[in-house]
Amino acid sequence: MSSNFIWAVATAAYQIEGGKDTDGRTPSMWDAIREIPGRIKDGSTKDLSCDGRNKYREDVQLIKSLGVTHYRFSIDWSRVMKNGKTRNPLGMEYYKDLCRELKKEGIKCIVTLFHADLPLDLYNEGSWLTEGIIDRFVEFSRYCYEELNEYVSIWITFNEIRMHAWAGVVKVEGEPFHSLDIDYKKFLGNVSVTRAVMVASRNMLLAHAKVYRLFHEKDDSTRVGIIVGAHSCMDAEGEKISAVSERATKSMVNLYLDPLIHPSNDWTEDMKEYLGTDLPPWSEDEKKLLKNTMDVLCLNYYRPHIVKERKGPSLVEELFNFTMVDDDWPKIGGESSWVRLHPRGLISLLEGLTKKEKEDGMKYPNVPILISENGVNDDPSLDSLEDTNRIQYIEAHIDGILEARRSGINVIGYTAWSLMDNLEWDDGFQVRFGLFHVDLKSEEKTRTPKMSVDWYRKKIEKERRDETMNKEVK
């Protein structure tokens, strides 16, 4: 294991900063969602946050106490560009202050440009359904690069691009409702919802490619990645890889990788077969733009899925002719949690991506892989600070990842989600993933370490010590 292995912890901007406008921040999509009665399960409004905007110095000390090498955070577009369009130096100053503080403590930055929250004006103008947003995103990214690049180790354009396309633009059957109820036909005409989703996907991939080219024109050593949700799928017959499990994985993972790193820089033929005319084509110039625009492949992983050959209830299951079925893996976050303890699912996906490098006609390049999120919510049956379930979950995944790395898979780092309890989108603050507990009722939004904090620090120390010893033996 290289001494450059990344040990990280992550949070997202809006989830800890909140919707406060004291530095010229303008409204975002999630501000509007949080004001709709009944949409957020704990009833909290946009005014409730962890106040990360004002507590960043304290939070950097929390990050330092973990012993990590990197901190992954995201930029709130609505904070740094008014209405998504005009530069706001006062809002940008917060991120510069945060980066300076991290640098002072020897912690490198992994920065996500888009993490599910769009400026409200841009959402109302068509969101990712219109091509005009591509240039808006490029200008936002340019501003971030100009102000922050000296501090950034890895830039990530989109967090879980597939998740946002299917859940954060329009309402889609069987997907989380993480958007406002936009009338996509107003922008695209009388087309199917599948077409709307894939137009949004196409525009985000083009925006990613343009930002990649821009950053590399400025400095070719810049590392740019994109996050895909690690939807590892296994056949119900013996938890194996089969035609149906591979097709399900392709629909949620490879569909978003192929235009960037497949030799054709196109949707693959099997995807065209399933999606038909709902899949918008690429021009030859667009294929050239997309080609090899990934320095780091980032994966957020929480659980795999068991699938069978049958059209399921959701749109994606119907389109790709599979259905997700119940599993018996440990419900590590309690009976109501969607997270499962099954690290083999991630290793299976990593092995599948590695295998593609060797298949004729596929030849995926050996792109470095960063596990950009992995974690579990508090188990309600445990004391809020005695998160032994989190320790069990994270340790199992770290051990699996390091074993995969030793076997030759190019995994360059691990990121725990999340630094502190924060807004978990439509669940509000009632579901807590943090290594640090946040007292949201206190004026100071007091942070208190859970058991996992000391454990994670010691785990990192042990793995780095073992690495040094192994080098000396060699």
Q: What is the pLDDT of residues 181-212, one digit of tens each?
A: 999 999 999 999 999 999 999 999 999 999 99
CB-CB contact of 81 with 119 (8 Å): yes
Q: Classify the C-alpha dihedral 17-42-456-451 as positive or negative.
A: positive
Residue 49 within a domain: yes
Domain interval for residue 83? 6-301+327-473
What is the CA angle 108-375-297, rounded to 5?
55
Q: What is the mean pLDDT of residues 257-281?
A: 94
Residues of the chain with pLDDT > 90, as a percent, come to 91
Angle, helices 388-406/344-356, rounded to nearest 10 degrees = 30
- Alpha carbon distance 393, 45 (integer Å): 31
- 317 within some domain: no
| Lowest model confidence (mean pLDDT) among 257-271, 342-356, 360-374 | 360-374
pLDDT at 1: 40
Asked if the structure places residue 182 within a domain, the reply is yes
CATH number, domain with residue 340 = 3.20.20.80
Tell me the helices (H) and strands (E) count for the chain, helix number first.
Answer: 18, 15
pLDDT score of 246 more than 70:
yes
Average pLDDT over residues 110-116: 98
Average pLDDT of the residues in 218-228? 97
Name the percent of the chain lying above pLDDT 70.
Answer: 97
Residue 142 within any structural domain of the chain: yes
Task: Categorize the per-residue pLDDT at 474 as very low, low, confident or very high, splitting at 50, 70 and 90.
Answer: low
Contact 435, 65 (CB under 8 A): no
Average pLDDT over residues 437-448: 97
Beta bridge partners of 228: 299
Give domain status of residue 208, yes or no. Answer: yes
How much is the mean pLDDT over the chain?
Answer: 95
How many CA atoms, within 13 angstroms, populate the side-chain half-sphere of residue 24? 16
Q: Rounded to an integer, what is the distance from CA 183 to the centroid of its chain?
A: 26
Provide the annotated active-site residues. 160, 373
pLDDT exceeds 70 at position 277: yes
- Three-state DSSP at 85 gives coil
3-class secondary-structure state, position 156: strand
Do the domain assignments include residue 322? no
Instruction: Give 358's pLDDT tier (boundaries 50, 70, 90).
Output: low
Write the secondary structure of 211-257 as one string of H (helix), E (strand) and C (coil): HHHHHHHHCCCCCEEEEEECCCEEECCCCECCHHHHHHHHHHHHHHH
pTM of the complete model: 0.97
**Element housing 437 (H / E):** strand 436-438
Number of independent structural domains in the chain: 1
Task: Categorize the per-residue pLDDT at 2 as very low, low, confident or very high, splitting at 50, 70 and 90.
Answer: very low
For residue range 386-433, list pLDDT tens digits in order: 999 999 999 999 999 999 999 999 999 999 999 999 999 999 999 999
* pLDDT of 257 over the 90 cut: yes
Q: What would the pLDDT profile of 5-21 be if each residue is shown by its tens digit?
A: 999 999 999 999 987 77
Residues 281-297: what's their mean pLDDT?
97
